[in-house]
Structure 1
Amino acid sequence: MATSRQAAAGFSLVEVLVSIVVLSIGLLGSIGMLLAAVRTGKEAATFAAAVNLVRDLSEKVRMNPGVAVRHDAGNTYLVADWTEDSGTGAVHSGCAAAGTACNAEGLATWDMGEWKRRVAKALPGVRLRVCFDEKPWNAAAGEYDWACSQSGRHMVVKLGWVPHADTAAAKQEAKPQRELPPRLVMQLVSG
């Protein structure tokens, strides 16, 4: 009789150990799903911030159509290729204070300087291009393209940034942000 009680006690200990292992695997899976959800939520928030920044620039451009429709160097809304390391450029100080006179070109310069500062703060490893482009989609590659046609009526903004999860890894790896396609391309105004 004593032998059967010891076997039963040992068998229930194995069951407990197996259930602890199964529970641990389930908890690890839950933690992995939670981390993925947090990472996805963070990236969604960054994408929403990028969309809001582009919407804000679109409103600024539409309020200053005399400068925005120009295809020359006088259109300070156009940005050839900008990264957060490039700086924000010249700021037209006459547009910063209330009650000061500000012309359309000065307002555009001030708008872009302030907007670039906000973009650099909100988007890690950002790359930016604002240009006239008729076909931002590269059908052969199946993705948006950084190159601009510099012709046509459509002013577009092209934004690229490093996802939060990849920020540290992107600095280490050989393929820099410059080679990644834009993550967001939106039309600002039709000229």
Structure 2
Amino acid sequence: MATSRQASAGFSLVEVLVSIVVLSVGLLGAIGMLLAAVRTGKEAATFAAAVNLVRDLSEKVRMNPGVAARKDAGNTYLVANWTADVGTGLAASGCTGVGTTCDPESLAAWDISEWQRRVAKALPGARLSVCFDDKPWNAAAGEYAWACSQSGRNVVVKLGWVPHAVAADARQEGQEGNQQRELPPRLVMQLVSE
């Protein structure tokens, strides 16, 4: 009887090792969930920043409707396939300062150049188009398209950026510039309708 008491009196080495393995798997799962939550939080913050940037441009466009409704080269709010690595294309003269006068076209050029600078700073690998487009959705591909129809009454902003996970992978592989051109727009919003 003494041997049966000793066998049931404590944990064996095998039981301790199994419990350590189970605990380790549980901790690894918890760490994986935490990393996914952090990554998702970063993406949500980036998307919120993009929405706020588009709202800001929308306010600027509403304040200058005479320029924004034009479908010619005088509408300096229109931007075709701009990427952050190209630069902001700053206007020659700013519309700030004491005694500075600005016509509506100069104000629009200054607004869009300042906005592009903020987009480049806030969004990794930013790409954008501001154009007239009556059909921004590509039904065949099931996603938004960068190409603009240049028709219709809708001025839309098409904004894209490289997700943090893709950017990190691209940095590791040395392909940072190529990633942004392959991705469809992540945010498409209408600015002005005539």
Bin for the TM-score computed over the shorter chain: over 0.9
- Displacement of 1:142: 0.6
For residues 153-190 of structure 1, the C-alpha deviation after alignment (integer angstroms, 9 at most, x for no partner) is 10000011101122132353596321211000000111
Q: Secondary structure at the match of 1:176?
A: helix
Instruction: List aligned pairs for 1:16-31, cutoff 5 A.
Output: 16-31=16-31
CA shift, 1:100, in A, is: 1.5
Structure 1 counterpart of 2:179, from 156, 167, 176: 176
Report percent identity of matched pairs.
80
1:34-82 deviation per Cα after TM superposition (whole angstroms, max 9, x unaligned): 0000000000000000000000000000100111011111111000110
Which residue identity does 1:105 align to in structure 2?
E
Aligned position for 1:89: 89
Deviation by residue 1:76-97 (Cα, 9 ceiling, x = unmatched): 1000110001111132424021
- Unmatched runs of 5 consecutive residues or more in structure 1: none
Which TM-score applies when normalising by structure 2? Answer: 0.91
1:37 has 2:37 as partner:
yes
Contact map agreement 1:155 1:190 (CA 8 A) in 2: yes
Structure 2 partner of 1:55: 55
Root-mean-square deviation over aligned CA pairs = 1.9
Q: Which moved more, 1:41-50 or 1:92-101?
A: 92-101
Q: TM-score, normalised by structure 1?
A: 0.92
What are the within-5 Å matches in structure 2 for residues 96-135 of structure 1?
A: 96-135=96-135
Of 101-110 and 87-96, deviating more is: 87-96
Specify the SS of the correspondent of 1:72.
Answer: coil
